[in-house]
C-alpha cells in the first residue's frame, strides 16, 4: 500500500512557522492540492480555517498544536509523523449550513463546523422567535443571542454560554441561549441532528441582530435557517490515545 501524500500548512504564529521548518527538513512533503493528508500546525482557530479551506476535498486533516488551547489538535512532535498518521483514528464531522436573509432582502449562505450564533448588535436585547421543524417552539426569546452547536463545537463558545457538551456520534445538536432575559429559566434544548431550525428576528430595525457561522458574519438579519448538512463530510485524525471522543468525554468530568 502506497504511503499517503502529506502536506503541511501552518498559521502565522512563530511557533507554527518554526515547526513547519522542522517538518520540511525531515520529510518529503506534497503540495496541499495533491495531498491525501493535511497536517495543520496552529491552534483550534487555524484548524477551523484549514477545514474550511479544504472543504469539499477528500482529504483528512491531522492537527498538531502550536497554538493555545488545541482542543482539536494532537500534541506536536516532529519525529514519527508518518507512523502517527498511519495509526491515527478518524473522526467524521458534518458541518451546519446557514441560510440568512437580511433587511435589504439579500440572501446569504455559509457553513459552520462549530456553531451558528445570532447576536444583538446594539445595547438593546434581541427578540428572537424560534422554530423547530416547522413548529414555533418559542414565540419570543429576549436575549443577547442564541446558538446552534455541533458536537465538535460544544466545548467551545457553546460551553462558555453554559450549553451542554455533546459526545461525538450522539447525533445531537445543542440549542443554547446567550444571556437569556425572558424566559429567564430557559436553558436551551438538545435536538436530533436532522432538526431544521428557523430563527425570526422580532423588530429587526429597533433591535438588529447579526448571524455568525464560525468566522462568517452577516449583519442585520431578519431570518436565519440552520441545519446539519449530511452530504458534506469532514475527516479529522487523532492519536488513538487521545482522540476527540475521549477529549469530549473528559471535559464532562472537569471540576
Whole-angstrom Cα distance, residue 60 to residue 51? 9
- Catalytic residue numbers, as ranges: 44
End-to-end CA distance of the chain: 45
- The answer to whether 42 and 18 are in contact (CB under 8 A) is no
Is 187 in contact with 174 (CB distance < 8 Å)?
no
d(CA 64, CA 43): 8
Q: Quote the CA–CA distance of 212 and 41 in Å, as a whole number.
A: 25
Amino acid at each position: 500500500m502506497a504511503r499517503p501524500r502529506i502536506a503541511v500548512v501552518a498559521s502565522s504564529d512563530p511557533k507554527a512557522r518554526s515547526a513547519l521548518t522542522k517538518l520540511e527538513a525531515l520529510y518529503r512533503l506534497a503540495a496541499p492540492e495533491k495531498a491525501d493528508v493535511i497536517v495543520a500546525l496552529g491552534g483550534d482557530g487555524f484548524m477551523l480555517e484549514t477545514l474550511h479551506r479544504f472543504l469539499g476535498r477528500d482529504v483528512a486533516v491531522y492537527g498538531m498544536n502550536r497554538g493555545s488551547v488545541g482542543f482539536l489538535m494532537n500534541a506536536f512532535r516532529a519525529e514519527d509523523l508518518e507512523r502517527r498518521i498511519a495509526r491515527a483514528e478518524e473522526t467524521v464531522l458534518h458541518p451546519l449550513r446557514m441560510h440568512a436573509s437580511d433587511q435589504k432582502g439579500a440572501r446569504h449562505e455559509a457553513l459552520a463546523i462549530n456553531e451558528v450564533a445570532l447576536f444583538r448588535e446594539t445595547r438593546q436585547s434581541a427578540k428572537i422567535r424560534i422554530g423547530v421543524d416547522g413548529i414555533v417552539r418559542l414565540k419570543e426569546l429576549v436575549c443577547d443571542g442564541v446558538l446552534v452547536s455541533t458536537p465538535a463545537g460544544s466545548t467551545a463558545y457553546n460551553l462558555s454560554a453554559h450549553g451542554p457538551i455533546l459526545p461525538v456520534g450522539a447525533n445531537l445538536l445543542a440549542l443554547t441561549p446567550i444571556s437569556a432575559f425572558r424566559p429567564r429559566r430557559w436553558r436551551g434544548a438538545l435536538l436530533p441532528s436532522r432538526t431544521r431550525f428557523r430563527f425570526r428576528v422580532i423588530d429587526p430595525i429597533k433591535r438588529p441582530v447579526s448571524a455568525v457561522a464560525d468566522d462568517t458574519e452577516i449583519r442585520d438579519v431578519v431570518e436565519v435557517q440552520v441545519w446539519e448538512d449530511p452530504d458534506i463530510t469532514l475527516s479529522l485524525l487523532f492519536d488513538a490515545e487521545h482522540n476527540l471522543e475521549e477529549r469530549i468525554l473528559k471535559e464532562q468530568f472537569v471540576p
